[in-house]
Amino acid sequence: MRTQRIFVVVLLLALMACGSEPPVSDLPPLPALATVTVHTAESTRGRAWDGVVEAVQQATLTAQTSGRVASVNVDVNDRVAAGDVLLRLTAVEQQAGANTARAQLRAAEAAAVEAEASYRRFAALASGQYISRAQIDQARAARDSAVATRDAARAQLAQAGQQTEYTVVRAPFAGIVSARDVEPGESVMPAQALLSLYAPDVLRIEVLVPQSDAAAIRTAKRARIFLADGRSLDAAQVIVFPAADPSTHSVGVRVLLPGVADAPQPGITAKVVFPIASSVGMVRIPAGALVQRGEVSGVYVLANSHHLALRQVRLGQRVGDEIEVIAGLKAGEKIALDPVEAGQALAAQRRTAAGAGHG
């Protein structure tokens, strides 16, 4: 605890006293420190943005009819083919509705046949002027009404049959099950989520970039994708949206991932680097060398064996285990790899200098 307090005090004093250090000749030598020479970001020239991997084809399957879950044939991470039965609901009510509609259709068909026969008889009598025109019109209206009732009964039967089909949930496309929201025995209602799946073959990342960079990205038509597991991939296609968002003044960019055997999972974060001009003098340092206290970021810069100072820096994007520094450092400077060790060495040097002064 005492060491942490000393470190914080040294950090604040060093930030406040940059430029007011005593002459090098007045300071005793520093203990040996592990250092690294700052280098420019050569491997990923360009501008980077963070995004989330998502599947181009994905779906959340919901219940289209009410019922109780009879069986679930798949689980998370299972691969399915298009048309495979994923889940079944009980169909007692739906079957009863279909049987009722089927009986109503038979009755409507019989009434339509009778109305048609009656109309034909009236039409034959009308040629001999045995019945009035009004009776003919009534017979025709009765026939048309019966035909309309029959057609409505057919539509009701088709609707009832569709409700029965809704009790069997099938895969709309080939893919991988990503979520399972129900278990056998549960009651479900229409619009309730049942399963989710996605097609792993085509993945993409969408990022928002400033409108000032959209034209350069559209011209480059290339991007490099850095995944969290350390892999990097060349984008299969880069699509820059034609219009900017009026509220944020940013432009959407869609980056399609290439097809790979071990495809990343949707939902993970990734970094997209576009080969466009980046800030001049951009350098990169190990993330472990950074000192972070609130909104202040800094690194210990070693000028020589006597002079160690904490310098504030402005950070850019993080790439793997390294962080880009926009301002505050330049290539060729040496920084301490372990900020805690550097802070303790600086405190020890100051104590030694103070003791020598009193002596």
Phi-psi sector, 106: left (phi>0), alpha (psi -120 to 50), beta: alpha
Q: Which of 22-31, 98-107, 272-281 has the lowest mean pLDDT?
A: 22-31
Q: Which two tokens stand for residue 142?
A: 């009765």
Higher local confidence (pLDDT), 177 or 43: 177
Average pLDDT over residues 172-182: 93
Q: Which residues pair with 238 in a beta bridge?
A: 255
- In this prediction, residue 173 carries a pLDDT of 94
Residues 183 and 70 in one domain: yes
The whole-number pLDDT of residue 20 equals 42
Same domain for 352 and 288? yes
Q: Examine the domain organization and report whether 154 and 111 are in the same domain.
A: yes
338 and 310 within one domain: yes
Q: Which of the two residues, 57 and 37, has the higher pLDDT score? A: 57
Tell me how far the alpha carbon of residue 114 is from its chain's centroid: 62
- Residue 101 sits in a domain whose CATH number is 1.10.287
pLDDT number for residue 61: 94
| 86 contacts 74 by C-beta, under 8 angstroms | yes
What does the pLDDT read at residue 347? Answer: 77
Residue 18 pLDDT class (50, 70, 90 cuts) = very low
Distance CA 332, CA 189 (A): 66
pLDDT at 189 over 90: yes
pLDDT-derived band at 27, boundaries 50, 70, 90: low
State the CATH number of the domain containing residue 235: 2.40.30.170
Q: Which residue has the tokens 């009879």?
A: 70
Last residue of a domain, one of 240, 258, 274: 274
Closest CA to 293 of 28, 11, 2: 11
For 38-73, write each residue's pLDDT tens digit.
Answer: 776 654 457 888 899 999 999 999 998 888 999 999
Please count the structural domains in the chain: 4
Domain termination residue (choose one: 226, 253, 274): 274
Structure tokens that stand for 33 in this block:
């420190």
pLDDT value, residue 21: 44
Q: What is the pLDDT of residue 10?
A: 46
Task: Say whether both 319 and 208 belong to one domain.
Answer: no
Q: Is the pLDDT of residue 147 over 50?
A: yes
Continuous H helices in the chain:
2-16, 92-127, 133-165, 211-220, 339-358
- For residues 171 and 151, membership in a common domain is answered with no
Query: Same domain, yes or no, for 181 and 86?
Result: yes
CB of 22 closer than 8 Å to CB of 309: no
100 close to 71: Cβ distance less than 8 angstroms: no
Both 79 and 191 in one domain: the answer is yes
Rounded to whole angstroms, how far apart are CA atoms 21 and 266? 52
Query: Considering 104, 137, 159, which residue would you say is the last residue of a domain?
Result: 159
For 204-229, what is each residue's pLDDT tens digit?
999 998 888 899 999 999 999 988 88
Q: Is 78 exposed, middle or buried (0-12, 13-18, 19+ CB in 10 A)?
A: middle
The reply to whether 207 and 265 lie within a common domain is: yes
For the cut 50, the answer to whether the pLDDT of residue 19 exceeds it is no
Question: What pLDDT sits at residue 286?
Answer: 84
**Percentage above 90 pLDDT, the chain:** 27
pLDDT at res. 348: 78
Share of the chain above pLDDT 70, in %: 85
**What does the pLDDT read at residue 263?**
81
Looking at residue 9, what is its pLDDT? 46
CA distance 224 to 319: 12
Do both 226 and 249 map to the same domain?
Answer: yes
Whole-number Å distance between alpha carbons of 199 and 146: 50
User: What is the secondary structure of 180-201 as a DSSP string?
Assistant: E---TT-EE-TT-EEEEEE-TT
Which pLDDT belongs to residue 231?
86
Burial 83-107 (b: 16+ CB within 10 A, else e): eeebbbbebeebeebbeebeebbee
Task: State how far Cα 165 lies from the chain centre.
Answer: 32
The model's pLDDT over 65-103, given as tens digits with 9 standing for 90+, comes to 888 999 999 999 999 999 999 999 987 777 788 888 888
Same domain for 124 and 100, yes or no, is yes
- Supply the pLDDT for residue 253: 95
The CATH number assigned to the domain holding 298 equals 2.40.420.20
Q: For the chain, what is the radius of gyration of the CA atoms?
A: 38
Do residues 85 and 99 share a domain?
no
pLDDT higher than threshold 60 for residue 11? no
Q: What is the DSSP letter of 313?
A: -
Q: Give the range of the structural domain holding residue 218, as residue numbers without chain letter.
A: 47-56+202-274
Q: Which of 97-111, 158-172, 279-293 has the lowest mean pLDDT?
A: 279-293
Phi, psi values for residue 198, rounded to 5°: -145, 155
Summary mean pLDDT of the chain: 81
CATH number of the domain at 186, please: 2.40.50.100
